[in-house]
Amino acid sequence: MLQDAVHTLIHLLVAFLLPPALGSVIARTKAVVAGRAGPPLLQPYYDLARLCRKGSVFSKTTTWMFKAGPVVSLASSMLAVLFIPLGAHGPLFGFSGDVLLLVYLFGLGRFFTASAALDTGSAFEGMGAAREVSYAALAEPAFFFGLIVLCRITGSAELGVMLGPSLGAAWIAASAPLAMVCVAWMVVLLVENSRVPFDDPRTHLELTMVHEVMVLDHSGPAFGLIQYGAAVKLQLYAAILVRAALPISTGNAWLDWLVFVAGLAALAIAIGLCESTLARLRLTGIPKFLVGAGLASAFAVILLAR
Amino acid sequence: MLIALLILPLLAAVAAFVLPSDRWRAYLVPLGGALHFLVLAPLVVGPTVTSSGNWLVFDPLGKLVLSAISVLYLVCSFFVPGYLAHYNHRPNRFFVMAMLGFLSATSLVILAHHLGLMWVAMEATTLITAPLIYFNRNVKSLEATWKYLLICSVGIALALLGSFFLAYASIKNGLPSSLLFEDLVKMAPQLSRPWLHAAFALLLVGYGTKMGLAPMHTWKPDAYGEAPGIVGALLAGGLSNCGFIALLRVLRISQAGGDGAYAHEAMIAMGLVSMVFAAVFMVRQNDIKRMLAYSSVEHMGILVLGVGLGGEAIYGALLHLMNNAATKGVMFLAAANMHRTYGSKQIADIKGVLHRLPVSGALFIAGFFAITGSPPFGPFVSLFTILGQMMKSGRFFVAGLFLALLGVVFIGMGASVLAIVQGRPTALASASPDREKLWSTAPMVVLLAFVLVLGFYIPAPLQHLLEQGTAMLEVTR
Amino acid sequence: MVHLVDALLMAVIILNFVALGSSRIRSSVRVVGMQGVILGTLPLIVHHTVTWRGVVVAMLAVLLKGLVIPKMLEAGLHPSRAPREARPFVGFISSLLLGAVGTGLALLFAQTLPLAQAHTGLLLVPASLCNVMTGFWILTTRRTAIAHVLGILVLENGVFTFGLLLLDAMPELVEAGVLLDVFVGVFLMGILLKHIDRELSEVDIAAEPMTILREE
Amino acid sequence: MTQVLLVLAILLALCSGAPALVGPRLSGGRQRLAAGLNVLAGVLALCAVAVSALEDAGIVPLTVTAPWLMRGCGLDGMQRWFIVPIAVLGPCASVYGVGYWPQASHPENGRKVSLFLGMMFAGLLTIVCSRNTWPFLFGWEAMALSAFFLVATEDDDPAVRRASWHYLVATHCTTLSLFAIFALMRAETGTFNFGPLPDTVPIGTSNGLFLLALFGFGIKAGVFGVHVWLPSAHASAPSHVSAMLSGFVLKIGIFGLLRVLLWLPHPQLWWGGVLLGLGTVSALYGVVAALGQHDLKRLLAYHSVENIGIILMGLGVGLLGRSLGRTDLLVLGLSGALLHVWNHCFFKSLLFFSAGSVVHAAHTRTIDDLGGLLRSMPWTGLAFLVGAVAICGLPPLNGFVSELLVYLGLLRLATHQTGLHWLAGALAAPALALVGALAVACFVKVLGAVFLGEPRTAAARHATEAPRSMRVPMAILAGLCLAIGLASPLLEPLLDGAVATWTPHAHVRLLAPLGSVSLAAAALLLLIALLALWLGRRLRKSGSAGAVTWDCGYALPTSRMQYTAASFADILTGLFGWVLKPINHVTFPSGPFPRRASFSSHVTDIAFDHVIQPLADRGFDAMQRLRTLQSGHTQAYIVYIFVALTALLWW
């Protein structure tokens, strides 16, 4: 019993404290590739603390909607995290169909973030919001076909079961579709979390931004919430992708935690490498890429029909 | 007693001829109508009456049609005094005489049980209605009257030839030749088949011309288009039904003579052709009265189609005869009011009737929904019964075509009706002093109430008459 | 007796062709008048027992069809305006040919109808059908309104000849009624003809009479 | 007992408008009376549902034997399910109408609207509770005709006349196909009463009835292809009428389809496939077309097409389940569709009510002329937000619950082992997900353009909040959306009763985790509240100041610089251009000193502008050519007579 309580505590800690660290690993990888020393690993935590203490400036044209944006997007990400398995450890909660809760919680977060951006009444934030919702809509089928593949293989609609122990055996039986799903999910991860090929988190030219420009007008604790929400969302996608790619469970609980953290780090480094090596896609190129990813995962479903 | 039905309107006509003042003469029409109705009412409820050597017989079919015409005539006759007062600059002696003569002629057609006598009466109705159509005294109404007379004469001549063929059919097989319906129906099985066959074709075309079935309907749009609204109502509701009852009498003989199958197929074909013609000519029609004329062609087609199908559809057709007469009355009177107020029949010139003539506009729309078979009204019940019989006898193609044509007619007619009724009235129309008076709206309201009641509940005597009528036309073998 | 009837019927058929062929309206009116007279007298001949009522009806028919109607129609023919010739759609020769074809068709159709033994020899049915067809051709090939009235008359004559077959079935009263109706019909058309002349005086009556009412 | 209540409710609603005709033209009292009568009718209908539920459960004995008029109506599980939303929506709409369409400011058509609103409400009640052809058809036509007169309220505007005309033609096609259906059914069963058709009915007739029902009821439900009347009718009708139209009149089509599908013998497998395919296409087309709209109410109308598509997908899964023998699929699909009927009825009418108060305040329906209304109309803005979140199916609210049921049905279909039927589920589920995401995009666009940012025109600037009589119905509907989202298990008994009409023992609880969904929704709301509190405390502690929007330092932002609806949706309308076929009206700047250049684009409806309209025009032109038969020549007419004669003789 004690064992379970400890592991649930670790589960909560990993779920809610680890996300900013993921961002720092990516930043550190990019710095090392660029030959720089890079910011200290705990820099994101310092930023969050600083933002919580700072004063904030709100535009006169905004209403309560502007403040609701960050709050709802973080709440939906945090709730979603409770339903996903971290490595071999099953999720804290789960019911048949919680996959859809996950997908639609992302939708809710996106709805409020984009609305908050439009509330400021600035052209740039409108541009960002438009791009965010459009690309997310195009990425939706890619993610969902992957879920269909997993659902078809494991025969259940519960995330814990789909990414559970039976996935290991499934990899042997249907490795080609699953590999294709992982590639598609990698693209979805990069799009949803505004990583380089699709969006540059550190760009300063608003015309080219997608995600960053939506949060242009936020400041102080609200901006802190947004940063933390983005980090949690990144870790969420990463956890799903890692579990789908490496469905191994070592049998020893502690060792599983290490495997999971190592997996996350490896994925962070991979994202860092992607950002350093790839250049950004033209804005008109992004929809083609997303539709391509969607067709890839759709093809995975067709492969299953064989 | 039956003779009274014929003589009373004639007496009123003579009085009209004698009476000098235009104003009082106009009131003779409602008087004649009321007298006719009073005599008719007890007869309809009573048993089948025959008189003068059963040349005049008042059988259930006759009761149905004559009561419909009499009610329509009585209600519409209240329209006439106001109408004639409005056009007081025109002499109306011939008009009133013709109106009353029309009533007695139609009564004679329905009562006559002798082919020759019925033909003479039918020809008389044609001749009496000619001056009615020519009442507007302009070039167009002249041409309309001329074509009406010419085409109906050709049709009636063929009908006469058909009657002679029927008479000869009995002589051919050495039977005592007689043109009385009862005798013909009794002798029918022995009648020589080819003559009976040819006779039915001729009579169908002859009396079909009188009814306005396509392709012999060409006189109808011109005649109804140019005649005054009140005359249009009586023609559409009354005269066409005379043609229909003549056809029914002939059908009974043909059925009894074993040629029923051919008769039914011919009538179904003729019915559908009429509906096709009506649908085609209804689309983008630019004249309200011509539109109503094509609607009349369509509904005559439906009557013939119903009887051709047999079974329940006969009940539906007979009920539709009543509904159609009343609804056509409403729409023609409304069209008359609009024509008078807007000074034009062209749909392009009439707009915003709901605002300018609220009662006429509302009743025109209600009549439109009724005539195209929308449920709360009477015609829906009869159309639905006819459709039910089509489905029961497995004629799916006919049912599909029937519904499609009803749809096209709805679209054609609806576009015109709504273009007139909705929107704002033109400056010219709102300027004209014409107001809606009681005489111009009360008849319509009564007729529409009648149609609405028929939609919900069919009174027992009418139900009894309809069943008897259906039994008469049922194919016995 | 039968030969006389056949001869008269042959005369009627020939008169049809004359009516079809004649170019002048005045002559065709007179021809139709003659046809009316012949047909008026025929029932007396065919009918075995001659009753006074039959005679009265025959006299009435001859009087109306022979004299009154032609006189009225000619009155309608104003010397000044109405054109001499009734310019038909088709030439006169072709209308004659049509008449011949029509008669042929009528004969064919008459064959299909079996006659009672008493009437096998008689020409009655073909004659009447031929008249009907001629009436049809006059109605459809001529332009002027007066020609149409003539067409109607020839058609009525055709139907009337068929009526001779069943004289005993048709009591005189009804026969008179038929005659009266035809007469009143033609009389009304005559009145309308005067109105047409008055109304359409400016429009040449021979041209397109009255096609104002049509669907565009 | 239920029949007495039902007939009373119907009669009350029917004559609710009558007193308005009698009184003086401008008095609002009659209208309030009419609204009161409608509310009473709604309450009676709800009591009837409760009583009949108890009767079926055997608690209340079936006492009074109904006289003739009432024998034609009654309530079984499915009918109870459909009575509730109309009993809620009807009163809300008429109460809303008191404030939105007051007699005083609309003298010439105010009374007409309240009269026909009552008639439509009565017609809908009659249809749902009828058990015989005659009340069904009478109720149907009463509803259809009164809806026509309601849509044609402002008939001096040609666009409104055209819209009401398209509606009338569409509804008449439905009526004609209903004639065919009921005539055919009577021919088979011999009676006018409703009931399952005997198995002796040949498969051909059964298929024919299915296609007729799909066509007739599909027009009424607004399924893709025959939805053409829907957008223009909703845009031109007064908003509370559009709410009734979109809220329930579309559902009456689904109700009719359900009834007929229940009675048809020999259910075929391809029926379910057709419904699922048609539903998916309708959902996709509805949301994509909505993206390109500039008119607020047309946009909401296209979303009705989308939601009807979702309902049809649920129905399709249900039918496939029935044919494949999978009762779990049947229960899930059917309950998802039925629950979505309720949800769509509530959140769509909520959206139309808030759109109505926007139009009432700003006197325009063009989204690009509005903006910044959340500040001047906070309650309407909140109502629209709740409606928008619900319609996109986002978690805390009711939209998510019913879409979850449909998803579960689709996912179970995707895991079906035998045959390739699972591919249908495997392709439809991602399509539904795409529809959800596009709906989010569309409603962010509308919310941002109408309620957020700066007001773009003077009318938007001077907008004032709607009166109380308009806000109360909105509050009720928003409350219902939240209640269903948080407490969906409460609906299980009523839902099981409805699904029980199809399969004997249906228990949604075993197949769908409604309990845990409600818990998750509650948890989400709790989390949001906590974070909001934390943020509020932090902001008070660390202070906040107001300033001009940080537009990267641009100091003079104007309202025209904001993203409009068209620019927001440009990426997606560009991608879906092959469906929307947008038409651009461009005036290029010309000459050395160009004075004026403009660009505007609008989206065409592929089914109407590119298929139905050209076909109709070509058909009517052909008829026009045929009219030369009536050439005016008497000779020709006589030739027709002889042609007819020879045809008859020769035949």
B5-14 confidence digits (pLDDT tens): 888 888 888 8
The yes-or-no verdict on residue D602 having pLDDT over 50 is yes
Say yes or no for a CB contact (<8 Å) between D623 and B283.
Answer: yes
Contact in structure between B124 and B105 (CB atoms under 8 Å): yes
D-chain residues near C205 (CB < 8 A): none
Choose, out of D624, D627, D633, D648, the residue to mutate when testing the contact with C (most C CBs < 10 Å): D633
- Candidates D185, D190, D81, D189; CA nearest to D128 is D81
D569 interface with A at CB cutoff 8 Å = yes
The yes-or-no verdict on residue D65 having pLDDT over 60 is no
C22 interface with D at CB cutoff 8 Å = no
Residue C34 maps to a domain = yes
Chain C nearest C-alpha distance from B294 (Å): 12
> pLDDT higher for A163 or D69?
A163
Q: What pLDDT sits at residue B364?
A: 94
Q: What pLDDT sits at residue D380?
A: 94
- Average pLDDT of chain D to the nearest whole number: 88
Residue C82 maps to a domain = yes
What does R_g of chain A's alpha carbons equal in angstroms? 19
> What digits encode the pLDDT tens for the residues D293-338?
999 999 999 999 999 999 999 999 999 999 988 899 999 999 999 9
Chains D and B share 3 or more Cβ pairs within 8 Å: yes
3-state secondary structure of D601: strand
Q: What pLDDT sits at residue A49?
A: 92
Domain count of the fold of chain C: 1
3-state secondary structure of B22: helix
Nearest to D429 among A58, A127, A148 (CB): A148
Buried residues in C17-53 as b, exposed as e (16+ CB within 10 A) = bbbbebeebbebbbbbbbbbbbbbebbeebeeeeeee
D596 interface with C at CB cutoff 8 Å = no
The chain B residue lying nearest D643, using CA atoms, is B215
The yes-or-no verdict on residue D268 having pLDDT over 60 is yes
Distance of alpha carbon B160 from alpha carbon D354, whole angstroms: 73
C118: number of Cβ within 10 Å: 11
The yes-or-no verdict on residue C115 having pLDDT over 90 is no
B209 interface with D at CB cutoff 8 Å = yes
What does R_g of chain B's alpha carbons equal in angstroms? 21
Band of the pLDDT at C207, cuts 50, 70, 90? very low
Band of the pLDDT at C208, cuts 50, 70, 90? low
Percent of chain C topping pLDDT 70? 80
Nearest to A148 among D381, D426, D575 (CB): D426
- Give residue for tokens 């995009």: D441
B-chain residues near C166 (CB < 8 A): 164, 167-168, 171, 177
> What one-character-per-residue DSSP string does A36-85 give?
-----TTHHHHHHHHHHHS-EEEETT--HHHHHHHHHHHHHHHHHHTTS-
Lowest model confidence (mean pLDDT) among B255-259, B281-285, B370-374, D60-64:
D60-64
Say yes or no for a CB contact (<8 Å) between C212 and B117.
Answer: no
Residue C25 maps to a domain = yes
Band of the pLDDT at C85, cuts 50, 70, 90? low
Percent of chain B topping pLDDT 90? 46
Q: Could you give the count of Cα atoms lying within 13 Å of D583 in the half-sphere of its Cβ?
A: 8
Say yes or no for a CB contact (<8 Å) between A121 and D400.
Answer: no
Contact in structure between A21 and A47 (CB atoms under 8 Å): no
Q: What pLDDT sits at residue B327?
A: 94
Contact in structure between A41 and A47 (CB atoms under 8 Å): no
- Give residue for tokens 């046809």: C35
Band of the pLDDT at D62, cuts 50, 70, 90? low
- Average pLDDT of chain A to the nearest whole number: 89
Q: What pLDDT sits at residue A45?
A: 92
B425 interface with D at CB cutoff 8 Å = no
Q: What pLDDT sits at residue D473?
A: 93
> What one-character-per-residue DSSP string does A68-80 give?
HHHHHHHHHHHHH
Q: B 70-89 residues with CB below 8 A of D?
A: none
> What digits encode the pLDDT tens for the residues B58-96?
888 999 999 999 999 999 998 888 888 888 777 788 888
Q: What pLDDT sits at residue A262?
A: 93
Packed helices B22-45 and B93-111: angle between N→C axes, nearest 10 degrees: 10
Nearest to D637 among B151, B283, B414 (CB): B151
Q: B 344-383 residues with CB below 8 A of C?
A: none
Distance of alpha carbon A274 from alpha carbon A272, whole angstroms: 5
Dihedral pair phi/psi, residue C138, rounded to 5°: -60, -40
The yes-or-no verdict on residue A58 having pLDDT over 50 is yes
Q: What pLDDT sits at residue D61?
A: 55
Lowest model confidence (mean pLDDT) among A45-59, C131-145, D484-498:
C131-145
C108 interface with B at CB cutoff 8 Å = no
A157 interface with D at CB cutoff 8 Å = yes
Domain count of the fold of chain A: 1
Can you name the residues that pair with B200 across neighbouring β-strands? none
B48: number of Cβ within 10 Å: 12
Contact in structure between C169 and B177 (CB atoms under 8 Å): yes
Q: C 156-185 residues with CB below 8 A of B?
A: 156, 158-159, 162-163, 165-166, 168-170, 174, 177-178, 180-181, 184-185
> What digits encode the pLDDT tens for the residues D88-142?
999 999 899 888 888 888 887 888 888 899 899 999 998 998 888 888 999 999 9
D533 interface with A at CB cutoff 8 Å = no
Q: Note the ipTM here.
A: 0.90
Say yes or no for a CB contact (<8 Å) between D634 and C210.
Answer: yes
Contact in structure between D223 and D309 (CB atoms under 8 Å): yes
Q: D 108-147 residues with CB below 8 A of B?
A: 108, 137-138, 140-142, 145
Q: Give the structural domain span for A225.
A: 2-304
Band of the pLDDT at D379, cuts 50, 70, 90? very high
Taking residues A233-260, report their average pLDDT.
Answer: 89
Band of the pLDDT at D559, cuts 50, 70, 90? confident
B56-58/B49-51 β-pairing: antiparallel
B333 interface with D at CB cutoff 8 Å = no
Band of the pLDDT at C201, cuts 50, 70, 90? low
Chain B nearest C-alpha distance from C178 (Å): 6
Contact in structure between A11 and A78 (CB atoms under 8 Å): no
> What digits encode the pLDDT tens for the residues D454-468?
888 898 889 888 898
B215 prior amide bond cis, ω within 30: yes
Taking residues D425-439, report their average pLDDT.
Answer: 93
Contact in structure between B193 and B200 (CB atoms under 8 Å): no
Give the containing element (helix H, strand E) for A156.
Answer: none
Residues 6+ apart with CB under 8 A from C84: C24, C25, C26
Q: B 379-418 residues with CB below 8 A of D?
A: 380, 383-384, 387-388, 390-392, 396, 399-400, 403, 406-407, 410-411, 414-415, 418
B-chain residues near C215 (CB < 8 A): 221, 281
A250: number of Cβ within 10 Å: 13
B221 interface with C at CB cutoff 8 Å = yes
Band of the pLDDT at D617, cuts 50, 70, 90? very high
Q: What pLDDT sits at residue C184?
A: 79
Nearest to D539 among A62, A137, A221 (CB): A221
B373 interface with D at CB cutoff 8 Å = yes
Q: What pLDDT sits at residue B437?
A: 83
Residue C58 maps to a domain = yes
> What digits encode the pLDDT tens for the residues C155-164?
888 888 888 7
Q: Give the structural domain span for C141.
A: 2-199
D187 interface with B at CB cutoff 8 Å = yes
D-chain residues near A54 (CB < 8 A): 542
From residue D439, how far is each of A103, A137, B18, D287, D564 by CA, in Å? 14, 9, 82, 6, 17
Say yes or no for a CB contact (<8 Å) between D561 and A123.
Answer: yes
The yes-or-no verdict on residue D23 having pLDDT over 70 is no
Chains C and A share 3 or more Cβ pairs within 8 Å: no
Band of the pLDDT at C29, cuts 50, 70, 90? confident
pTM for the structure as a whole: 0.92
> pLDDT higher for B406 or B173?
B406
